[in-house]
Structure 1
């Protein structure tokens, strides 16, 4: 398989740079918020005498992931109501493809939605 790397115009490069910078800043802000939530929960649990029950950073990351999944699908993150099942299907399929391609997960991603509907 060949991959093409198109040559961007100066205007396209500027747009790409702006988006990449915003992406890095967003990622840093989310990580900082996760770390702060983890620390705050640990401090509060310690004050309540429940230090060993403090949730790990991964717990809060899973909460953010679930809420963002709902946001991408158009569902209410508090009730899970609404949302587009086609988008949900494709988001899950994308995650499966990432796990298989980058982490050698033993998984067969869902077939593309268009193929499934024609059968």
Structure 2
């Protein structure tokens, strides 16, 4: 159950970052509310996951999900560059997160 909570925490982190971009672009109250709710859910689920997953592993995987998710959605939603070097490093982050999961 902790791994599911960690995965959901990472997804809420990505949602929070996307809403952060929305707030920066148009500063609407709905974006601010979604930003706050997303990060509260993310931190709450991360805290729950850290009860049984080592702190370093949980934090590394959580930030990896957030980083990869934000980068990929930035490329898809906001038409950010899709250079091969960027994709390579995203793949390296994913490989590292999978490696951490396999060692726990």
Question: TM-score of the superposition, structure 2-length normalised?
Answer: 0.38
Structure of greater Rg: 1
Question: TM-score of the superposition, structure 1-length normalised?
Answer: 0.34
